[in-house]
Amino acid sequence: MFKKKEKATKKPSRTFVLISNRINLLFFIIVALFTVLLLRLAQMQLVDEKFYQAKLKETTTYTIKTSSPRGQIYDSKGVALVENEVKEVAAFTRDNSMSGDDIRKLAIKLSSMLTLTETDVTTREKKDYYLANPKNYQKIVDALPDKKKYDHFGNNLAESDIYANAVKAVPKSAIAYSEDELKIVALFSQMNATSTFNTVSLTTGDLTAEQIAVIATNKEDLPGITVKSDWERQDMNTSLSSIIGRVSSQKTGLPAEEADTYVKKGYSLNDRVGTSYLEKQYEEYLQGSRTVQKITVNKKGKVIKDKVTSEGTKGKNIKLTVDLEYQKGVEDILNKYFKSELEKGNTKYSEGVYAVALKPDTGAVLAMAGVSHDLDSGDLSSDALGTMTQVFTPGSVVKGATLTSGWANGVISGNQVLNDQPIQFAGSSPINSWFTSGSLPISATQALEYSSNTYMVQIALKLMGQEYQSGMVLSTDNYKPAMEKLRATYAQYGLGVSTGLDLPGESEGYVPSSFEPGNVITESFGQFDNYTTMQLAQYVATIANNGKRVAPHLVEGIYDNNQDGGLGNLFKTIDTKVLNDVTIPAGDMDLIKEGFYNVANGSGTYTTGRTLANGSSVTISGKTGTAETSVKGDDGKSVDTSNLNVVAYAPSDNPKIAVAVVLPHETQLRGSITQDITREIINLYHKLYPMN
């Protein structure tokens, strides 16, 4: 019997196995990818929810900040020195859907409704205006070579790169606009530079009632255009104008070099800020708080929420220590005397005349006035800033500081007597006091009263470790330490260092780092380093208040606004700031004050400042100074001139005012003009504010 033959099992083909494995692998990969995707979605929705919510808000919510009017500046009596001129202006708010062409067409429409004035535009702004027209843009792009439109693989370049190449390709002939067209370009540029949902006040002529009505009537055809109140800083053109400073325009916005700092403080790039002097120094108070507005748009760009989250307020006001009436009176005095001397030819080569008046006990600036003389045109102009920026050789007014250095360093004591005598160094001309006629024993107070140069020279020699002998060779030993000692003492009075004035841009004087032994000698009687009038005023104020150096300040206080936006209640007082005490015993300071009193009121043969007291309404103490200088005359030859300087305070027994007056390069050489000026400045103050 035959067995039934078993059917052989057919094995899968190799091809089938490979396909099956690939399908399984593909299925596994798909499952794995879906798993990763699900995990990633879970992470985004659960773990990273806050992050993506923030990103969503970042792309759909706009925060808009609008500045408020700036605070005002007043004199000590509440007279406005600078105000905000409020006026109606055309404003543009950029919608998030606006294209450059939309803005171009809007600018053209507005040009027929407003009086356009601005024509100052850059070449780039002209090209942007030209390319805002789609036809012009397409024409320029079509003409570009392929490498300016495509990369090496034939892909389109980024739109920003193509636009940049199009800008470069715009021919000059295409942007040769007329004056009227340039006005439209300027208007377009202002609007085109505005970021989404921000508002800019357009620079145009003042709006008339008719123009305002036209804008209101055509509102639907003028998207983003409104009429709103805006302000411009208005300087009242006083003798204090130069120290008020400037405010940037909305167009210039934040100064480029300080933009990052301001932005970190919450400023916008187009905010108007103080760029110099008081406007800059007190920016944090003068700048108003900003209105903050949050605008939310949906995916289609439609505004779905518009909310003001913070209402802005006008900036705070500042009130100065200076009475404008007194300031003007001081300037008038300077003008009167300078013009008189100019007519006589005595101030032909002088740069002007400067005066500073301070309250010795508080440092409050009572006046800082200057008259600048243009040596080419002969014109005179106000120059209050010159009191803190112009430096001059002071002459003998610094001798009180030289005595102080002698006492502080132990080379003289008390009212020590030294001989005023010709100082003869080997191989050089003698140094004399103006009255020297042999050997005259004088005390420290007499050295001030008579203005002895040689008394001061002997102090300088002692600081160098030398005693004077006729015909001696001036040693080069210890001259640098001696100069350091002199300058260190001078600095305690504010000479050669910052006075601490609350105004940026103050000069610290001219104090050369390189000098010779002979310069130490001339330094002792004020013929080497140069100082500002403000520094000399601080110096004499320090003497007046018995050795306390107080920082001068122009601002008395910060004030809120009243209901009308004017000077309101006091917010903050600017306190007196004592910088240092002069390191000498009180008795030695009394000797300086005695010498200063005798300068104006002494009866000695060589008393130097009697003109100060002649006709004064209160007792005056002070020190005169004459620094020998020279200038080049009209014929090119050297002309001898003098800096005529005075420092003084009054009343002598209870000082209420300290004054410094500087008149450089006067040709009369030893005139009393600055004494007359100083006396009149003090008398005027006594008239306005009687001093007991």
Cα–Cα nearest to 283, from 272, 294, 291:
272
Instruction: Give the residue from 650, 627, 651 showing the smallest Cα distance to 640.
Output: 627
**At 648, which helix (H) or strand (E)?**
strand 638-650
Cα 266 from Cα 289, distance rounded (Å): 10
Nearest Cα to Cα of residue 658 among 358, 399, 323, 333: 358
397: nearest Cα among 527, 507, 563, 589: 527
Give dist(CA 354, CA 333) in Å, integer.
Answer: 11
For 444, the token pair is 């420290």
- Which ranges in 524-581 belong to alpha helices (H)? 533-544
Q: H-type helices in 43-195, by residue range?
A: 49-60, 100-111, 123-131, 134-142, 159-169, 179-192
Residue 276 known to be catalytic? no
Output b/e per residue, 636-651; b: 16+ Cβ within 10 A. eeeeebbbbbbbbbbb
Q: Which among 396, 451, 524, 621 is annotated as catalytic?
A: 396
Q: Would you call 430 helix, strand, or coil by DSSP?
A: coil
Q: What CA–CA distances, in Å, run from 557 to 322, 327, 498? A: 12, 19, 22
DSSP 215-264: HHHTGGGSTTEEEEEEEEEEE---TTHHHH--B--TTT-S-GGGHHHHHH
Which amino acid is it at 562? N
Residues involved in catalysis: 396
